Amino acid sequence: MALKHHTDDRARYQQQVENSRDYVLPFIERTLKVGPATRVMEIGCGEGGVLKPFADKGAHCLGVDMDGLRIDIAKEFLAEEIGRGQMTFLLKNVYDVDFLEEHGGAFDLIILKDTIEHIPEQDVFIPYLKKFLKPGGQIFFGFPPWQMPFGGHQQVALGGWTSKLPWYHLLPRPLYKGLLKAGGEPEHKIQELMEIRDTGITIERFEAILRRSGLRVKCKRHYLINPIYRYKFGLKPRRQFALISAIPFVRDFLTTCVYYTVAEKKS
């Protein structure tokens, strides 16, 4: 089910910009006003589209990613903002000692949009993020819960039914892998999807990690229809029903996206 944004860098970037402008930024501004004094870091920034609306409001932005090709694209698309010193993009691992030494305690806002579900050892990574926050700083997380219909990102599969079948990523690992092979998926795609299977995160596990990490939820929103589906599939975004959102575990299967802003607990 290859969509245009899977192969068209400009289309993918523009979707990021519009989704960030219309949904991510307004959500964040419920708890943090963004302006020229705001310093923002996005981890897993890709082509940089999520950061563009923040730069448009005057914020100083740093995008970090471990995919060199996507960093190069970000530098091309946002050359004007880079030229005036408002944006920087780095091919970097945030665990690197020199990165922490340079950027520790530097940011009012850290953004992880469709990123945390790809990062291993989230129970170590999430509390580590606090090292980069200024006092009173916040972290935004937006991600698809693992148990939602396409929480395994199987929509990026190259085959026919393998990219359209919901929930089968929840099958036992050997059976899921066997079905991908039976569907004709190449080895590199199978490896990619199995890696996502290993790092996918549920709402319950995410909130438990926040509590153990000394982080409190400032604002949260669950979506029945992910806002990004507006651009991918022409579907109107819709918030999750309050009753379903309040039921642990059940909500994971029916919620296609969650937004959270979190901050350190007050002493």
For residues 87, 90, 93, 97, the Cα torsion angle rounded to the nearest 10 degrees is -80
- Predicted TM-score (pTM) of the model is 0.94
Q: Give the pLDDT confidence score for residue 236 in this predicted structure.
A: 95
In angstroms, rounded to a whole number, what is the distance separating the alpha carbons of residues 69 and 74? 9
**What's the confidence (pLDDT) of residue 267?**
64
Q: How far apart are CA 160 and CA 45, in angstroms?
A: 29
Per-residue pLDDT reduced to its tens digit, 230-248: 988 899 999 999 999 999 9
Question: Residue 191's CB: how many other CB atoms inside 10 A?
Answer: 13
d(CA 246, CA 228): 23
The pLDDT of residue 2 is 45
What is the full DSSP assignment across 68-109? HHHHHHHHHHTHHHHHTTSEEEEE--TTSHHHHHHHTT-EEE
* Residue pLDDT tens, the chain, 267 long: 445 445 688 899 999 999 999 999 999 999 999 999 999 999 999 999 999 999 999 999 999 999 999 999 999 999 999 999 999 999 999 999 999 999 999 999 999 999 999 999 999 999 999 999 999 999 999 999 999 999 999 999 998 899 999 999 999 999 999 999 999 999 999 999 999 999 999 999 999 999 999 999 999 999 999 999 998 889 999 999 999 999 999 999 999 999 999 999 986
Question: Hey, where are the domains in the chain?
Answer: 4-147+200-264, 154-198
Place of tokens 């994971």: 252
- For the stretch 170-206, pLDDT in tens is 999 999 999 999 999 999 999 999 999 999 999 999 9
4-147+200-264 belongs to CATH 3.40.50.150: yes
